[in-house]
Every structure is written in C-alpha cells, then in structure tokens.
C-alpha cells in the first residue's frame, strides 16, 4: 500500500494513518466512534452542542486544530439539531443516524483498502484509484457509493485536514462552513440545503446503495503544453464544415428531469461545487444538494483551468426540491430510476464547465468567445474508447481532432473524419468506422454512446455576466463540433431567449455549418464591441437574413 502513487497523493488530505500497509484511525478516534456507534447512552452525544464537542475532540485526536474550522460552526450544528428540526427527528438522528454514520466511519480504512486493491482491475491499463487529480493531469477515479458515503460522513464530522488544501487549489470539503452559514445568515433555502444532505444520510444509513460513481478530469491541451498540437483556434472554428446538430428548445422544465439520457451541464464554478458547502444556492449548488455524491469530487479535484472540464457519471439523486436561490426548498424523497451501465454507474452524466465571470462587454471579445467555445467543447467531447483520459489535439496537417492519453505509450485515437491510418474517410469507410466504434462502445469499456446529446441552459449568464443569446450559440457550436446529435436547451423562461426556437430553426433550415455560425457570431460581437449595434444577436441576425439571404448566407 505504501508504494502506491495514488494513495500517497491523497493520503495528506485524509484523516487516516498508515502502518505496515494498513490504514487506520488513531485509537482515541476509534474509541469515540465506537461510543457514538452504540448510541447516546454510551457516547452522550444527544444534541448539536454535544455533537460539536465530540467533533472537536476527534479533531484533536487527529492533531487537527479546530481553530482552522469556521468559528460559527458549533452554533450552526446546535441551531439545526437543537432548535430547527422537530424533537422527534432530532432524537432519531442521535439515536439512529449518528450511530450509523459512526459505524460507517469505522469502516473507512477497510473500504479504502478494498478500493485500492481493486482499483487496477476496473478498466484494464487505466488508473482509477482515488488520488489527487491535479490541473493539467487528465485522469479518472471510480468510487463505490459506499465509500462515497463514508467520505461524506467524514465531511459531516469535519475530520478532513484543511491546512494543506489551499496550496493545491482544492475546494472546501468539511461541512463546517455549511453549518456556520446557517447560524450567521439563516434562511429557509439554506436550511433546505442541509435537509437535502440529512435526507441523503438517512437513506444510505437505512439501505446502502451498491453502485459506482466515476469522476474524470478532461483536458484540452493548450499550445504551451505541446508545440506540435494546440487547442482549436479561431481559424479552426472559422473553417469547420461540421453540420450543426439538432436543437430542441424547452421553455419550461429542468435539466435534471430530461428524459433523453443526455449529458447534463453543471454551470460550474472553477472550484467544483462552487458554494455548495457554503451559502451558494443556484444551479450547481442545487445539483450538488439533490445528488450529494457529487460532493465527493471536491475532496480530490482542484480548480479547473480554462482548458479543463470535469465529468461525473453515476451520481444518484436522492431529493426532490422546489424553487431556486432564495426560494429553494427541500421537497422530500426522490427515487432515482436511472438504469446502470456495466460499471454499475447510473446513466446520469454530468459535466462541470465553468464560464468566464467578467463585465458583460468583455464577453464579446474574440479571445473570450474562443475560451468559452473551447471550454464547452472540452466538456461535450464524446468518450471514444477507454478512459485513456481525453485531451483534444488539433493536428495542423490534416485538421483532425483527437483525444489523447496520459499514457504516453498509447496511440492517439482518431475521430470519424479520418481512418486509423490518417486517410480521409469516404462514405463507405465512414459507415464501417462508425459501426466499429459502436462495437467498441458496447463490447469494451466506453462510457458514451454516439446518440447521447447535451442537456443545458443559460450557462454563465446571470451574475457571471454572459450574454444568453451568445452562450446558447456557443454551446451549440461546441456540441456540434463534438458530434453530439442534439442539444436540449432549457431557457428557464428567460425573456432574452423567447426567439431561440425561431432562430435555431431558421439557421438549420439554411444548412449552416459550425464555421458559418462562428463567423456570424464574430461579426456580431465586433459590432457590439465597437458600438455599431445595440441589438441582441437574434434581433441583429433575423432582420438581415430575412431581407438579404444571399448576401448574408455564408458560403
């Protein structure tokens, strides 16, 4: 065990010790957890106030200072368990749930040992063990739902070390700030966030799920990483002759309720989870509350760079909800009926992509348009073969897009535009190539199928300053270039997108390519920057096209 690179990379961020190839809790922590596992008559943990004292004692036993946690956390735990929840529910938590979580924590060392023992056998030749997936290091981690449950129990008890996380640009992982915010600035929406997590713990303590969740860092290499390959530049997008994919507009409904098994977009912060464990309560944070297993990724996935995305497959949904932001409310149990793949992951695919946060006019600059389009492309790329940790390479010679491996000895995989020998595909070869790929998907260990579209919405708009009309077009470009068959776009009732369906239908009826739309978007953005128009993209586009189709229609 001591010789495993993956374990050694994550061990400084775990509260466990290692000796003679075994992971273990310090004896005093074991004693405290055993007492809690037997209920309040043995542990005397029967209130939020006493629970925090037990947490502080365990941190001291781990040589972790409680001073590094939020100073309002004790009041937050006390407020929730001693005042906000019903006395009957509080008694249940201290009589049943806290003991069950303590038992789960006692199993954490053995769960991790079993995880590392089997990590090399999940996908042949691919590392899947728990480890720090640092920026610019593509890779994938597979975790059982039981191990995730134990890790989240550890976060609930605030037992993860925190002093070394900032240096690695890791997001917060302990729940101290989540509870502290409840006390510092109480709101019903924040209480509902915690109730979602409480409901998750109640569910897993009554019946532990047996599936798997994968977490992948995807990278679009920047030019400075390899002089012979670059991420797509403006010229690449301008010349792309890929046809635009189908575009479905939904004026109502939610991304997580889509029924097409599409890749679901998380409007992410560059720090995965954003304000999930603090005061945030918008799209990303809500998703992390109703699918709490997503929080596990915050343990080992540092912030995303501009050329990165994080894809998570298999996270189970546990809660219903209503509202958004300040109106968010926990609305009871949710039974996730998604089927599982060969790796026992639910067929829920979530991709986290972080948009630029900048003054609105900056979003019209060419560099910003390129950054956003490439960011979306990185997230939307279809997994081609195994988790050889996909990164895009653009070969200047034949303009092909390939997904690269962190295994330097493995061959790069070609897209549909070329054969495995780099020669162009005619229609016959294209059909053979496609059918061969389908067999790879079904017969080996591929994650995505060619018929998986993208479910998204107003990514990077609102407080991030993005233009809803341009962001819709940017995501359409990226999904089409990634060969996704369709976009399901949820407008959330945004007035700026009331003509989205009309615009996309017009564009599709005129057979525009990715390059055509990109060029038109650049022309419009330049006019906005130089104050030659104040119109939105759709209003600017439609009158011109309706009167001078031949003049405007791209060649």
Question: How does DSSP classify residue 242?
Answer: P
Q: Which residue in the list 46, 146, 266, 293 is annotated as catalytic?
A: 266
Q: Give the pLDDT score at 318.
A: 98
Q: What is the bridge-based pairing of β-strands 413-414 and 329-333?
A: unpaired
- Cβ count near 328 (within 10 Å): 23
Question: Which secondary structure element, helix H or strand E, spans residue 263, and what is its range?
Answer: strand 263-268
Sequence-ordered list of residues with C-beta below 8 angstroms from that of 136, at least 6 positions apart, any chain = 219, 225, 305, 308
Q: Give the pLDDT score at 2.
A: 76
Residue 111 reports pLDDT greater than 50 = yes
Q: Which residue in the list 216, 256, 285, 354 is annotated as catalytic?
A: 285
Share of the chain above pLDDT 90, in %: 78
Residue 436 reports pLDDT greater than 60 = no
Residue 464 reports pLDDT greater than 70 = yes
> Is 284 designated active site?
yes
Cβ(232)–Cβ(415) under 8 Å?
no
> Is 469 designated active site?
no
Tell me the C-alpha distance between 267 and 288, whole Å. 11
Residue 186 reports pLDDT greater than 70 = yes
- Give DSSP secondary structure letters for 150-170: HHHHHHHTT-S--TTTGGGTP
Q: Is 283 annotated as a binding residue?
A: yes
Per-chain mean pLDDT for the chain: 87
Q: Give the pLDDT score at 476.
A: 98
Sequence-ordered list of residues with C-beta below 8 angstroms from that of 412, at least 6 positions apart, any chain = 393, 402, 403, 404, 405
Tell me the C-alpha distance between 132 and 139, whole Å. 10
Q: Give the pLDDT score at 264.
A: 98
Cβ(113)–Cβ(147) under 8 Å?
no
Residue 404 reports pLDDT greater than 90 = no
Question: Which secondary structure element, helix H or strand E, spans residue 213, and what is its range?
Answer: strand 212-219
Q: Give the pLDDT score at 449.
A: 54
Read off the pLDDT of each residue in 235-241 and give the average, rounded to a whole number: 96
Q: Is the dihedral of CA 155, 161, 162, 164 positive or negative?
A: negative
Checking phi first, is residue 186 left (phi over 0); if not, alpha (psi -120 to 50) or beta? beta
Q: Is 490 annotated as a binding residue?
A: no
Rounding to the nearest 10 degrees, give the CA dihedral for residues 20, 24, 28, 29.
170
Residue 371 reports pLDDT greater than 90 = yes
Q: Which of 120-129, 222-231, 401-410 has the lowest mean pLDDT?
A: 401-410
Q: Is 324 annotated as a binding residue?
A: yes
Rounding to the nearest 10 degrees, give the CA dihedral for residues 303, 310, 314, 152.
0
**Residue whose structure tokens are 């104050």:** 531
Residue 284 reports pLDDT greater than 60 = yes
Q: How confident is residue 543, by pLDDT bands cut at 50, 70 and 90?
A: confident
Report the 3 state secondary structure along 451-470: CCCEEEECCCCHHHCCCHHH
Phi first, then psi, for residue 248 (nearest 5°) are -110, 125
Q: How confident is residue 386, by pLDDT bands cut at 50, 70 and 90?
A: very low
Comparing 286 with 410, the larger pLDDT belongs to 286
Q: Which residue in the list 176, 284, 308, 469 is annotated as catalytic?
A: 284
Q: pTM, whole model, 2 decimals?
A: 0.88
Instruction: Go through the chain and tell me how many residues it has.
Output: 555
For residue 48, which of 20, 85, 79 has the smallest C-alpha distance? 79
Comparing 324 with 450, the larger pLDDT belongs to 324
Residue 78 reports pLDDT greater than 90 = yes
Share of the chain above pLDDT 70, in %: 84
Kindly tell me the burial class for residue 514, based on how many C-beta atoms sit within 10 Å of its own C-beta (0-12, 13-18, 19 or more): buried
Q: Give the pLDDT score at 462.
A: 83
Segment 259-269, tens digit of pLDDT: 889 999 999 99
Q: How confident is residue 459, by pLDDT bands cut at 50, 70 and 90?
A: very high
> Is 191 designated active site?
no
Residue 446 reports pLDDT greater than 80 = no
Read off the pLDDT of each residue in 446-457 and give the average, rounded to a whole number: 77
């Amino acid at each position: 065990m001591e010789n495993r690179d993956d374990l050694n990379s994550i061990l400084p961020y775990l509260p466990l010790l290692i000796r003679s190839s075994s992971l273990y809790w310090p004896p005093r922590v074991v004693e405290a957890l055993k007492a809690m596992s037997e209920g309040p008559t043995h542990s005397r943990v029967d209130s939020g106030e006493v629970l925090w004292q037990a947490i502080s004692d365990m941190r001291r036993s781990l040589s972790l200072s409680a001073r590094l946690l939020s100073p309002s956390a004790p009041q937050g735990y006390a407020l929730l368990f001693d005042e906000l929840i019903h006395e009957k529910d509080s008694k249940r938590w201290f009589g049943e749930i806290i003991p069950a979580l303590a038992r789960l924590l006692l199993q954490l060392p053995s769960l991790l040992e079993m995880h590392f023992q089997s990590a090399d056998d999940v996908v042949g030749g691919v590392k899947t063990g728990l480890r720090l997936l640092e920026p610019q290091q593509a890779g994938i981690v597979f975790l059982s739902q039981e191990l995730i449950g134990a890790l989240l129990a550890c976060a609930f008890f605030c037992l993860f070390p925190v002093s070394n996380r900032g240096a690695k640009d890791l997001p917060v992982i302990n729940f101290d700030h989540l509870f502290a915010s409840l006390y510092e600035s109480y709101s019903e929406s924040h209480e509902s966030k915690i109730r979602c997590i409480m409901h998750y713990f109640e569910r897993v303590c009554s019946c532990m799920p047996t599936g798997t969740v994968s977490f992948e860092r995807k990278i679009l290499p920047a030019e400075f990483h390899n002089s012979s390959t670059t991420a797509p530049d403006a010229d690449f997008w301008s010349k792309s002759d890929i046809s635009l994919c189908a575009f479905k507009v939904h004026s109502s409904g939610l991304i997580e309720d889509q029924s097409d098994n599409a890749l679901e977009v998380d409007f992410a912060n560059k720090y995965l989870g954003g304000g999930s464990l603090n005061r945030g309560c918008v799209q990303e944070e809500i998703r992390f509350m109703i699918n709490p297993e997503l929080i596990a990724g915050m343990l080992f996935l540092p912030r995303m760079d501009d050329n990165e995305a994080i894809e998570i497959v298999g996270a189970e949904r546990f809660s219903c909800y209503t509202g958004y932001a300040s109106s968010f409310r926990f609305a009871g149990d949710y039974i996730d009926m998604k089927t599982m793949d060969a790796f026992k992951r639910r067929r829920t695919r979530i991709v986290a992509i972080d948009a630029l946060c900048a003054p609105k006019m900056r979003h019209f600059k060419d560099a910003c348009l390129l950054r956003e389009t490439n960011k979306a492309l990185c997230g939307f790329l279809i997994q081609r073969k195994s988790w050889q940790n996909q990164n895009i390479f653009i070969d200047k010679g034949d303009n092909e897009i390939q997904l690269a491996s962190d295994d330097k000895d493995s061959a790069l995989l070609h897209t549909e535009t070329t054969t495995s020998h780099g020669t162009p595909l005619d229609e016959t070869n294209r059909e053979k190539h496609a059918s061969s790929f389908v067999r790879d998907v079904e017969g080996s260990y591929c994650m995505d199928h060619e018929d998986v579209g993208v479910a998204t919405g107003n990514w990077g708009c609102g407080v991030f300053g993005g233009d809803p009309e341009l962001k819709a077009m940017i995501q359409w470009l990226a999904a089409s270039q990634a060969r996704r068959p369709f976009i399901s776009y949820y407008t959330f009732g945004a007035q700026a997108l009331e003509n989205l369906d009309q615009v996309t239908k017009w564009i599709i009826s005129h057979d525009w390519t990715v390059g055509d739309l990109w060029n038109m978007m650049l022309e419009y953005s330049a006019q906005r920057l130089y104050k030659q128009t104040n119109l939105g993209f759709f209003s600017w586009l439609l009158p011109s096209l309706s009167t001078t189709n031949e003049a405007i229609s791209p060649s």
